[in-house]
Structure 1
Amino acid sequence: MSFKKQWFNAFLACVFFSLLSCTDDENKDTVDPDPDPVATVESKYVVAATSGENDYLVMGDELKAEYTFDATSTDAVQSPGDRTWTFYGDEVVYGFLYNQADAGTTASYVLNADGELSKRNELALDVSIQTRGVVNDQLVLAYSDRLRDTTVEQKAYFYTVDPSTDASKLYTVVSSDLLEEGEAAYFTDITEYEGLLVAGARSISSSSFSSDYYHNTYLVVFNPDFTVKEVIKDEGRTGFVAGQKYSQGETGLEVVENGDLYVFSSGQTNYADANTENIPSGVLKINKGDFAFDSAYFFDITEASGGYNLFRSYYLGGTTFIVSMYPGKNDQATFGVDADRFAVIDVASKSFEWVSGLPTAAGLETDPFLIGMPFIDGESEQLIVPITTSENTHYLYALDPSSASASQLSNVIGEGVKAVGMLKSAD
């Protein structure tokens, strides 16, 4: 072979291997080592709605007006029965079946890493749940006896639940004569204050659910072992903590950013005594570090609203709350059946402003939960409220405390809408 041909063949070989080497390098830079990566779902909005005789959990990515949550879809997760829903932050949602004095089923649901809503556990509780709160990173659930036989010792039952495992522990407290002699304590709300569990309570005659002490406000402070540390009492300004309808009290106690504890009362009595008692809805305060009501502070919500009654309160930061209100005085009061008006209040300045842009709820006696459990959206600093309108349509509304206005968000397809919240997937 001539020298020229040998040189030319060698040149071609060098060019070939050079091109092959460049192609390999390019492939190394551009080819994904994992051609089918799995994206981790971080969070979802969750709506609890009803269809037929059951509740359904429906997930979604956003709450915009063009987005729909469909409880009748195949993607909805069925939760049998008529439940009350509570979100523990963005970790887990609990559905409670209320069965009066008998055991009530409680189911927990979480969002897994694949973005699917899955049932985690059924909690074996000996009683139904009337109220709940978060204390020292645990969910605390409570039920109070109302045994009509006054010769029988009345008790209250508190469960602590670990939200990461659902492990629970029961504590029993004697409620007879705890607040007033001859009456029992009936617990209506729970919060953490100064590292201790503080529970709002009403004093009741168990035989009739009436009281000789409608005009008093009571807080019970517990030690970590659920023995009673002390009872804090206020006389004559408003009534028991929170509003109550069908045993579901809540959102009556709130510790604000500066450490003060604000105490909200609807001023309710009971139906039999409503026309003979006149108790304003109001807000009391316990200053940070104290275990007594501030005698100089009282915010008369009934007066500020022009005659309405407080039902629920939702904390939006600073000293700002959004409150739900219901109409009527004395025996004309609806006790929260149609708590279809909202207002923005500042508990420091005692300001009150009605929220505009909301529809009117139907307010039917046969279906009193037409305003569902809201979601406090910390990112948007708004309150997201499930509402059933008088036309029997279901929507989520965003309530903006800065403008005291509401805007309509997502439509919910189903027979009712009970709650909205957010869940984040576990690592």
Structure 2
Amino acid sequence: MKRIKSYFLMLLISVAIFSCSDDDSPLNPEQGDDDNSEEPSEQESRYVVAATPNALEGVADYLLSIESLNSGSVSLIGNGVEQDGTYRYYISNNNKFFSLLYGQGNPGAVTTYQLNANGGLDMISDFQAETVQSFTNVDDEILMTKISRNSTNPIASWYRLDTESSQIVDEGQINTQDIIDNDELAFFTWMTQVGDQVYAPFMSVKACCNDTFGTDYPDQAWIAVYSYPEMELQSIIEDDRTSYIGRYFTSGLGVVENGDIYAFSSAVATTNGEASSTKPSAITKINAGEEEFDDSYFFNLEEASNGYYMTEQTYVGDGVFVLNMDPTASKGAYTTGNRLAIVNVYDQSFVWVEGLPNEDAITSITSQNNYVEDGVVHVGVTTDAGSYIYQIDVDNASATQGVEIEGGTITAISKLSIE
């Protein structure tokens, strides 16, 4: 199984929330202050790259503050800020970089960084956290949801974090049995801001019977629509042309400039441990201002790619997405595709990216932790030969090898400005 390249968020609070949880390792959801001083820099911004040391297993990431992603090399030895604990995941908002420890059912440390005048990373806060399984930026807030997969207590708890004050400003609960019209539970795959609302795709899960993430309804897609900031349910959008939207801890929605919403399905639903969806991996559409799927739009990715399915998506702009793809023959619920493709959802064009290492040679690739800048997608790619950040030029579907991160596996790429 390939390691999931996602980042699990925990609830930032000024005091620890201690509660019982049946959540398990983020690598398989079904199983159970350092100095970073830099030389003075005239740059107004720096890239923040997270990487896991290769020498040891079960070790923490290091955060590097670097000037360029395009060339050169940076070693983890003697550089960067070491994180406390494994299973770190990341998100940026309001010119802050949040480093988040997945607590495997327990509260875990969450550390917030800003750039100092010299371009190094300063820790500005350190909190305890409750493990959550879904989060997203909503303007200058982070919306987080701790999702139950326990049929006797089907409650998802949501929290709004103000990133300016690093304080919780509101919280509430959602009964996940009440938003689905079958005998299973709704489990949110992700949440996405759409205007002044939040769209929350979910999968239907048994949450019992030794088939916790399995379903008897593998060929159905749902999206719950919530008001914001109240998080009151407005409607449920359904479609039977695909399996569920997104995947466990993976965003399945992309909002383009005119407000249209594109929904990505990997078609990886399982029943009793076996792949059970009869639908193809595909993209569907919800037109701006509407709360129903557009029946006239259907982009069959397995057909366009000649036998691949998508695992993650990165929006670039103007209807263009970079997709992580994997062969349908090895379809799995938690894999990350090592081959990249570029699709334009407007004209349903599909093209493979050239210039990357062979997909079989790639041991790790970033997905939701990619960084998009000026129409270029920066992706971390690791093979036995090393770990590099590649620049994906979507105009010519080409990849160019950039900076090498020596001694580490790249897990996240972001950028902060010097204030």
Query: 1:276 offset after TM fit, Å?
Result: 4.2
Question: For structure 2, which runs of at least 5 residues remain unmatched after alignment?
Answer: 1-39
Is it true that 1:214 corresponds to 2:218 in the alignment?
yes
Query: 1:99 offset after TM fit, Å?
Result: 3.0
- State the distance in 2 between where 1:201 and 1:282 align: 16
Residue matched to 2:350: 352
Residue matched to 2:98: 94
Query: 1:98 offset after TM fit, Å?
Result: 2.0
- 1:279-323 CA distance string (max 9 Å, x none): 311111111110111111111111111111111111111111111
- 1:52-76 CA distance string (max 9 Å, x none): 41111011111122x2132222x31
Question: For structure 1, which runs of at least 5 residues remain unmatched after alignment?
Answer: 1-37
Instruction: Output the amino acid matched with 2:400.
Output: S
Is it true that 1:131 corresponds to 2:134 in the alignment?
yes
Q: 1:83 to 1:130 in 2, by over 3 A?
A: same
- State the distance in 1 between where 2:296 and 2:232 align: 30
Query: 1:88 offset after TM fit, Å?
Result: 2.1
- State the distance in 2 between where 1:222 and 1:369 align: 35
The partner residue of 2:148 within 145, 150, 163 is 145
- 1:79-132 CA distance string (max 9 Å, x none): 112234333257122222223443343222211233220122233333x13222
Q: 1:320-359 to 2 correspondence within 5 Å?
A: 320-329=320-329, 332-359=330-357
- 1:395-415 CA distance string (max 9 Å, x none): 100111100111100101123
Q: 1:360 to 1:337 in 2, by over 3 A?
A: farther
Q: For structure 1, which segment, 291-300 or 152-161, has the greater mean C-alpha deviation from structure 2 after superposition?
A: 152-161
Q: For structure 1, which segment, 176-185 or 311-320, has the greater mean C-alpha deviation from structure 2 after superposition?
A: 176-185
Is it true that 1:317 corresponds to 2:317 in the alignment?
yes
SS at match of 1:62: coil
Residue matched to 1:31: none
Relative to its length, the structure with more helix (as a share) is 1
More contact order relative to length (CA 8 Å, sep ≥ 6): 2
Residue matched to 2:201: 200
Whether the 8 Å contact between 1:326 and 1:336 is mirrored in structure 2 is no
Q: 1:372 to 1:316 in 2, by over 3 A?
A: closer
SS at match of 1:306: coil
Instruction: Output the amino acid matched with 1:102.
Output: N
Whether the 8 Å contact between 1:104 and 1:129 is mirrored in structure 2 is no
- State the distance in 2 between where 1:191 and 1:338 align: 21
- State the distance in 1 between where 2:48 and 2:263 align: 29
The partner residue of 1:85 within 89, 106, 111 is 89
- State the distance in 1 between where 2:397 and 2:268 align: 26
Instruction: Output the amino acid matched with 2:136.
Output: G
SS at match of 1:302: helix
Whether the 8 Å contact between 2:50 and 2:61 is mirrored in structure 1 is yes
SS at match of 1:105: strand
Query: 1:145 offset after TM fit, Å?
Result: 1.1
Q: 1:229 to 1:369 in 2, by over 3 A?
A: farther
Residue matched to 2:5: none
- State the distance in 2 between where 1:310 and 1:221 align: 24
- State the distance in 1 between where 2:89 and 2:304 align: 31
Query: 1:44 offset after TM fit, Å?
Result: 0.3
- State the distance in 2 between where 1:175 and 1:241 align: 17
Residue matched to 1:256: 256
- State the distance in 1 between where 2:366 and 2:68 align: 20
Query: 1:274 offset after TM fit, Å?
Result: 3.3
SS at match of 1:279: coil
Relative to its length, the structure with more strand (as a share) is 2
Residue matched to 2:277: 277
Residue matched to 2:405: 412
Q: 1:216 to 1:110 in 2, by over 3 A?
A: same
Query: 1:214 offset after TM fit, Å?
Result: 1.3
Whether the 8 Å contact between 1:308 and 1:326 is mirrored in structure 2 is yes
- State the distance in 2 between where 1:351 and 1:93 align: 35
Whether the 8 Å contact between 1:136 and 1:195 is mirrored in structure 2 is no
Q: 1:133 to 1:285 in 2, by over 3 A?
A: same
SS at match of 2:328: coil
Q: 1:334 to 1:83 in 2, by over 3 A?
A: same
SS at match of 1:80: coil
- State the distance in 1 between where 2:94 and 2:388 align: 21
Query: 1:363 offset after TM fit, Å?
Result: 7.9
SS at match of 2:304: helix
The partner residue of 1:384 within 374, 378, 381 is 378
Residue matched to 2:60: 54
Whether the 8 Å contact between 1:322 and 1:344 is mirrored in structure 2 is yes
Q: 1:81 to 1:369 in 2, by over 3 A?
A: farther
Instruction: Output the amino acid matched with 1:388.
Output: T
- State the distance in 2 between where 1:276 and 1:160 align: 36
Instruction: Output the amino acid matched with 1:286.
Output: I
Residue matched to 1:226: 231
Identity of aligned residues (%): 28
Residue matched to 2:25: none
Whether the 8 Å contact between 1:154 and 1:184 is mirrored in structure 2 is yes
Query: 1:384 offset after TM fit, Å?
Result: 0.3
- State the distance in 2 between where 1:413 and 1:271 align: 42
Give the number of aligned pairs: 371
Residue matched to 1:301: 301
Instruction: Output the amino acid matched with 2:176.
Output: S
SS at match of 1:82: coil
Is it true that 1:265 corresponds to 2:265 in the alignment?
yes
- State the distance in 2 between where 1:121 and 1:129 align: 19
- State the distance in 2 between where 1:125 and 1:229 align: 29
- 1:223-255 CA distance string (max 9 Å, x none): 2322222111112x11112133xxx322x1111
Q: 1:171-186 to 2 correspondence within 5 Å?
A: 171-186=172-187
Whether the 8 Å contact between 1:327 and 1:334 is mirrored in structure 2 is no
Whether the 8 Å contact between 2:313 and 2:367 is mirrored in structure 1 is no
- State the distance in 1 between where 2:334 and 2:394 align: 22
Q: 1:125 to 1:363 in 2, by over 3 A?
A: farther
- State the distance in 2 between where 1:92 and 1:408 align: 27
- 1:180-204 CA distance string (max 9 Å, x none): 3321111111111131111111111
Whether the 8 Å contact between 1:111 and 1:423 is mirrored in structure 2 is yes
